């Protein structure tokens, strides 16, 4: 009797939500003692940001009207204003909020997946992987990626409100879906793809005709406004280079280079080892390179197989994975070829596809081959996957402990990137390890000789020489 009651509780949605939240909080608990990454965006968004120092109408207006680092993401910056009001410049508080948002996001992922795919096991597995996958460490452990977490929470909220509106047609839910979409886009513009997810849901999951196309119009307007604001602020700032939209830059550099990168993301999701804050990227300048042709052929083959053999549910999650990745796919170049944080939403669709494929294979083997796959085996395999991911994530969280640990790790994995050497040198200089800092700046100068690095080398040589003379 008691065991049956426990089983009912363990299998309930409420228990799953609580378990996911606690799982996320425990896994990332040690990141709450981490420092700011002063040499990478945290100094602009938080440390030296005068607009977050007090909750005033002037500061709020400034945040709503000012792009930061070439990005117009006002809600992201406003969140730091409330952080500062609570704990000043104590980084622990900022990390607590990031972990909280990731935990809330995991619960919402569970609700979204269960609403679309029905089965609680699939939803629980996907949400647990969302919590535990090391590719998400960058988004959670880096304070400046609050925008990724915040926008995701609003993104999931908009989806759930939309699903509720489709069920009972109450205008309140439609209004909430639209409100959450606005909040999401102005936290981080990568969620401008939300209307495409809605349309895919209607076509592939709901499949009711006629589709009320007019219902998507307000969401499309929000997405266009967010995209336009980001592009304009990026052009005025540093996020989008002057030569970004020339055919030579796009078709003889960015697009050929990105083709194999899409496959690398696929590998990182399956085998998330050697993750890095920056990745050395092989540059390609022609679509006729054998690597590019092989990559394109592989993508074409997979597309044909999905269209021909995939069910509508599977196709929807493929659509989700691809569409959520598009804003970071360098269609509009963003000067970063690939980064872990770009997969925060996309990986949900990828692992939903894996879970659905596994479910369908089990059903097929049971029906066609009379092979009864025990649920215990499925459970054990899932736990083994999660344990492996947790181990990798726990190790990866340590890398983000402070700027020295981050850039030391990144310089080992991606030694030929100028910004990595510069940031590592800056971190070492801040720690008063001048000889080591000088070496990093000299390495940076070998990659790219800029006035900034030349000045740093001269300054540090004087400091090192003075210390030697003093001795």
* Chain segment 121-135, per-residue pLDDT in tens: 899 999 999 999 999
Q: How far apart are CA 107 and CA 126, in angstroms?
A: 11
Identify whether residues 399 and 421 lie together within a single domain: no
pLDDT tens-digit profile of 125-180? 999 999 999 999 999 999 999 999 999 999 999 999 999 998 887 899 999 999 99
DSSP assignment, residue 68?
B
What's the pLDDT at 382?
Answer: 87
What's the pLDDT at 243?
Answer: 60
The answer to whether position 351 is within a domain reads no
The answer to whether position 422 is within a domain reads yes
Identify whether residues 115 and 134 lie together within a single domain: yes
Find the domain containing 453 and state its range: 415-470
The answer to whether position 353 is within a domain reads no
Last residue of a domain, which of 381, 404, 427? 404
Query: Are 138 and 144 spatial neighbours (Cβ–Cβ below 8 Å)?
Result: no
Whether cis (ω within 30° of 0) applies to the bond prior to 210 is yes
* Residue carrying the six token digits 């990595």: 420
Q: How far apart are CA 233 and CA 241, in angstroms?
A: 11
What's the pLDDT at 308?
Answer: 80
Query: Are 109 and 5 spatial neighbours (Cβ–Cβ below 8 Å)?
Result: no
pTM over the 0.95 mark: no
The answer to whether position 363 is within a domain reads no
3-class DSSP assignment, residue 186: coil
What's the pLDDT at 287?
Answer: 87
- Signed CA dihedral, 97, 100, 106, 110: sign only: negative
pLDDT over 70 at 346, yes or no: yes
Query: Are 389 and 127 spatial neighbours (Cβ–Cβ below 8 Å)?
Result: no
The answer to whether position 316 is within a domain reads no
pLDDT over 60 at 1, yes or no: no
- Signed CA dihedral, 27, 32, 38, 44: sign only: positive
Query: What is the number of domains present in the chain?
Result: 2
Contacts (Cβ under 8 Å, ≥6 apart) of 451: none
Q: How far apart are CA 327 and CA 324, in angstroms?
A: 7
b/e per residue, 313-327, with b = 16+ CB within 10 A? bbbbbbbbbbbbbeb
What's the pLDDT at 439?
Answer: 92
Q: How far apart are CA 407 and CA 395, in angstroms?
A: 15
Query: Are 81 and 184 spatial neighbours (Cβ–Cβ below 8 Å)?
Result: no
Identify whether residues 105 and 152 lie together within a single domain: yes
The answer to whether position 280 is within a domain reads no
Rg of the chain over Cα atoms, rounded to whole angstroms, equals 24
Maximal CA-CA distance, the chain: 83
pLDDT tens-digit profile of 93-115? 999 999 999 999 999 999 999 99
* Residue carrying the six token digits 């993750």: 275
Q: How far apart are CA 166 and CA 454, in angstroms?
A: 60
Lowest-confidence pick of 240-254, 408-422, 441-455: 240-254
pLDDT tier at 381, thresholds 50, 70, 90? confident
Query: Are 114 and 123 spatial neighbours (Cβ–Cβ below 8 Å)?
Result: yes
Identify whether residues 206 and 173 lie together within a single domain: yes
Identify whether residues 92 and 181 lie together within a single domain: yes
Identify whether residues 71 and 152 lie together within a single domain: yes
Q: What is the mean pLDDT of the chain?
A: 88
The answer to whether position 281 is within a domain reads no
The answer to whether position 444 is within a domain reads yes
pLDDT over 90 at 246, yes or no: no
Identify whether residues 74 and 162 lie together within a single domain: yes
């Amino acid at each position: 009797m008691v065991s049956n009651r426990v089983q009912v509780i363990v299998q309930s949605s409420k228990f799953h939500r609580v378990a996911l939240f606690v799982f996320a909080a425990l896994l990332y608990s040690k990141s709450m003692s981490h420092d700011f990454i002063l040499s990478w965006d945290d100094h602009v968004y938080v440390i030296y940001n005068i607009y977050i120092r007090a909750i005033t109408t002037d500061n709020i207006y400034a945040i709503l009207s000012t792009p930061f680092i070439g990005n117009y993401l006002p809600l992201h910056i406003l969140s730091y204003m409330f952080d500062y009001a609570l704990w000043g410049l104590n980084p622990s508080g900022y990390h607590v909020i990031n972990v909280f948002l990731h935990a809330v996001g995991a619960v919402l992922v569970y609700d979204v997946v269960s609403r679309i795919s029905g089965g609680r096991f699939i939803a629980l597995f996907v949400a647990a992987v969302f919590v535990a996958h090391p590719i998400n460490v960058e988004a959670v452990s880096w304070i400046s990626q609050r925008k990724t977490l915040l926008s995701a929470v609003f993104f999931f909220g908009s989806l759930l409100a939309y699903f509720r509106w489709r069920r009972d047609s109450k205008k309140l839910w439609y209004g909430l879906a639209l409100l959450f979409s606005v909040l999401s886009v102005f936290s981080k513009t990568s969620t401008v793809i939300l209307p495409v997810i809605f349309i895919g849901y209607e076509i592939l999951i709901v499949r009711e005709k006629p589709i009320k196309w007019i219902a998507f119009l307000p969401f499309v307007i929000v997405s266009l406004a967010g995209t336009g604001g980001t592009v304009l602020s990026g052009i005025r700032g540093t996020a989008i280079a002057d030569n970004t939209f020339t055919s030579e830059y796009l078709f003889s550099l960015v697009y050929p280079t990105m083709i194999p990168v899409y496959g690398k993301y696929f590998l990182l999701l399956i085998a998330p080892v050697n993750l890095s804050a920056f990745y050395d990227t092989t540059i390609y300048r022609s679509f006729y390179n054998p690597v590019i042709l092989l990559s394109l052929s592989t993508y074409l083959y997979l597309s044909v197989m999905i269209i021909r053999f995939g069910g509508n549910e599977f196709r929807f999650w493929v659509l989700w994975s691809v569409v959520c990745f598009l804003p970071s796919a360098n269609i509009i170049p963003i000067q970063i070829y690939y980064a872990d944080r770009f997969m925060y939403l996309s990986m949900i669709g990828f692992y939903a596809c894996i879970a659905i494929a596994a479910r369908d294979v089990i059903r097929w083997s049971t029906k066609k081959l009379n092979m009864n796959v025990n649920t215990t085996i499925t459970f054990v395999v899932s736990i083994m996957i999660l344990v492996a991911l947790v181990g990798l994530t726990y190790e990866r969280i340590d890398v983000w402990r402070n700027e020295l640990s981050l850039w030391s790790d990144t310089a080992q994995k991606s030694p030929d990137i100028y910004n990595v050497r510069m940031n590592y040198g800056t971190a070492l200089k801040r720690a008063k390890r001048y000889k080591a800092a000088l070496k990093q700046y000299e390495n940076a100068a070998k990659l790219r000789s800029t006035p900034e690095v030349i000045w740093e080398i001269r300054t540090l040589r004087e400091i090192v020489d003075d210390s030697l003379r003093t001795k």
